Chains A and B, each alone.
Chain A
Amino acid sequence: MEAEPPAYRRLHWSLLPIACSFGAALLEAEPREQIFYGEFDGRRDKRVLIKILGE
């Protein structure tokens, strides 16, 4: 990875730990399953919604 990734790349990487911790703690994920955000029109704010239901 380059020393100073562009903004759209920083957004991408910053989301990965969130996805990973959910995978380990809560989701019934297969060992290699990871959740990704894919950006195709970046360099601006984008949002991802996580909605959790259950008891």
Chain B
Amino acid sequence: MKSHRKVLTLRLPDRTGFVNLTEEVAAAVRESGVQEGLCLVNSMHITSSVFINDEESGLKQDYLRWLERLAPFNPGSDPKQGGYLHNRTGEDNGDAHHKRQVMGREVVVAITKGRLDFGPWEQIFYGEFDGRRDKRVLIKILGE
């Protein structure tokens, strides 16, 4: 069985944002030489996500608005004032931990005949919720 590991480093200029990783992951599959297998893609951080959905700009704005309603940014640590207990550690990213939890840590995509075996509209995205610093995404490919 073959195994291939690749790490992508991303640094988003804003606190939140989405990056389409599909072409980078497809390139890693080609590099691996795997024809039949599985491809795991996960964020190596707990304030960012990897997920699959549609490359459509309205949907990405909808997600950000929805996530902001679910877990609004608030650097405070008093829940009575909308803050997060997590921020008692001196951090300000309690909201980002919640946003990442909703959007998920990883995706697994089948590799068939050397290619990512997607449905018609599936694209792989990185979701950043506490950016402006280097973050890493792990791609691990197993198969034959």
A53 part of interface (Cβ distance < 8 Å): yes
**CB <8 Å contact, B112 and A47:** no
**CB <8 Å contact, A49 and B117:** yes
Complex Cα–Cα for A51 and B143 (A): 11
Q: Digitize B33-73: 1 where CB-to-A-CB distance is under 8 Å, 0 elsewhere.
A: 00011100000000000000000000000000000000000
**CB <8 Å contact, A53 and B38:** yes
Count chain A residues whose beta carbon lies closer than 8 angstroms to a beta carbon of B. 4
> Which label, helix, strand, loop or mixed, suits the secondary structure of the A interface?
loop
Shortest C-beta distance, B5 to chain A (Å), equals 17
CB-CB nearest in chain B for A50: B110
**CB <8 Å contact, B117 and A51:** yes
Q: Identify which of A47, A49, A53 contacts B143 (C-beta below 8 A).
A: A53
Q: Digitize A37-55: 1 where CB-to-B-CB distance is under 8 Å, 0 elsewhere.
A: 0000000000101010100
Shortest C-beta distance, B104 to chain A (Å), equals 14
CB-CB nearest in chain A for B36: A53
B79 part of interface (Cβ distance < 8 Å): no
Interface set of A (CB-CB < 8 Å, partner B):
47, 49, 51, 53
13 A-B interface contacts by CB (under 8 A) = A47-B119, A49-B110, A49-B117, A49-B119, A51-B38, A51-B110, A51-B112, A51-B117, A53-B36, A53-B37, A53-B38, A53-B142, A53-B143
Please give 8 more A-B residue pairs, beta carbons under 8 A apart, in addition to A49-B117, A51-B117, A53-B143.
A47-B119, A49-B119, A51-B38, A51-B112, A53-B36, A53-B37, A53-B38, A53-B142
